[in-house]
Amino acid sequence: MASGQTVTEVHVEVYEDDEVTKETAEEYGEALAVVQRLLRAQGIRSCLFRTISLKLLGSGGPHPYRWRTPELVVANSRGSRDATVRVGPRSGCYFVTIRNRTGLETVREPQKVADLILASRRGSAA
């Protein structure tokens, strides 16, 4: 790390029911990468987290990987989480959680996800 840089820790929540197949995790990751590119074009930085867990077995047998639903995290300049985007397991819609808002926004199109996050940032700057 270069001198003067700081590290921002971002906590990724893992839920028991967010286990998916490797193929599904890759598909969701690609869908979130589209949103990430749209946000980057607007000057908004985000980080795509892909998580796997490894179950260690005492029997010495194979250790199965468990793929988790990826999530896109948008943080502000202070490192606080502004938004989290995930892909719904059944609907394929984007689930967007925005800081200081209650509930979950369900959005079908990646451009609308980016617009929602951009609008929330404009609203918080006012």
The CATH code of the domain that includes 75 is: 3.30.920
Is 3 a domain residue? no
Spell out the residues 6+ positions from residue 108 whose beta carbon is closer than 8 angstroms to its own.
93, 94
Spell out the residues 6+ positions from residue 40 whose beta carbon is closer than 8 angstroms to its own.
46
Task: Report the distance separating Cα 35 and Cα 109, nearest Å.
Answer: 9
* Residue 102: per-residue pLDDT: 86
What are the tens digits of pLDDT across the range 16-35?
Answer: 567 888 999 999 999 999 99
Whether the Cβ atoms of residue 25 and residue 31 lie closer than 8 Å to each other? no
* Residue 5: per-residue pLDDT: 52
Give the structural domain span for 27.
18-53+62-125
Is 11 a domain residue? no
* Residue 78: per-residue pLDDT: 84
Is 10 a domain residue? no
Residue with the bigger pLDDT between 100 and 16: it is 100
Q: Are strands 71-75 and 46-49 parallel, antiparallel or unpaired?
A: antiparallel
Is 8 a domain residue? no
Is 87 a domain residue? yes
Above 60 in pLDDT, residue 14?
no
Is 2 a domain residue? no
Q: How many domains does the chain have?
A: 1
Mean pLDDT of the chain: 84
